[in-house]
Chain A
């Protein structure tokens, strides 16, 4: 059974600082997604990573995928308050399954 672990679960950081959120998964997959969720809102798709070594960047966020290590990272550069949200990684198992398996989420708070 596929398990997805995110670290840390809670992250409080100052504006202007850098930090990385980690997402490990337990079985083979080459489809990994990052979503953002604001309090009381739905999930917004940030990145889709489809192959080993994939790197995608949008603004202050950069996501990467290492399928051999079964690890994805979401790197935050020079954080701003607007990035405060919960970030989920989600993994689609190989074999045609449609069941996205989510990590528990990382609640990010960026303080002035």
Chain B
């Protein structure tokens, strides 16, 4: 089945220790998104890629970076995680930008910072 896969599902890291979260998709969608969702809050868009074009949200901290080496994979790098970065990180994809198509979400990676 075509889907959005995130690894790992749970990640524990230490304060200040870099961490990378992974997302892959078999939908062959052009757009990939990263959202941060803190407990009992709505998801917040961090950035997205349209093909190789990177689009950062203005209020995304510099601590968060992303890479998309090919259509299928996208990575979220947190360079120096703080306690406030503990959250669920959701990857999503959509087929075409600007057309209002549905975004399909992966299962999420829950990050814990000790």
Contacts and interface: CB of A to CB of B under 8 A. Distances in A.
Same complex origin of A and B: yes
Nearest to B101: A48
B100 A102 contact: no
B64 to A, nearest CB: 16
A33 B103 CA distance: 9
A94 to B, nearest CB: 9
Contacts, number: 53
Interface string A45-79: 10010100000000000000000000000000000
Contacts of B33: 98
A99 B103 CA distance: 11
A43 interface: yes
A48 B104 CA distance: 12
Contacts of A43: 43, 90, 92, 105
Nearest to A33: B102
A45 B102 contact: yes
A57 B17 CA distance: 47
Nearest to A48: B102
A42 B5 CA distance: 11
Interface of B: 31, 33, 40-45, 48, 50, 55, 57, 90, 92, 94, 97-98, 100-108, 110
